[in-house]
Amino acid sequence: MLAGLSPGADNRPEAVARRLIRSGVKQVVMTLGENGALIVTDKSSIRVPAVCMSAVDTTGAGDAFNAGLAIALACGASLEEAVPFAAVTGGLASPRRASSLRCQPR
């Protein structure tokens, strides 16, 4: 909605972020659930992988991601350093079954 697009439309995350950049936003961090996160600036686009786990309940994972991002940035991390930290923070907030972990090769 911030990019002026219909929430029900099938929009690629990077295209939405680029639209925000063109509107004056300097950088965009977008969470993509099990697909990790995306950092977009006017010069780059970086995908950050998700934490490898089988989540039972993801309630609060986005809030934990935001908290991890804020803490890392407040401690002086660059955006490229802070987002992976935030991804781990969000992943740790999701209860999981250790016996059913599924990892994708990197």
Residues tagged active-site:
63
Helix (H) or strand (E) holding 43: none
Please tell me the number of Cα atoms within 13 Å of 52 on its side-chain side: 8
Q: Are strands 45-48 and 27-31 parallel, antiparallel or unpaired?
A: unpaired
SS3 content of the chain, % helix, strand, coil (to 5): 40, 15, 45
Alpha-carbon radius of gyration of the chain: 15
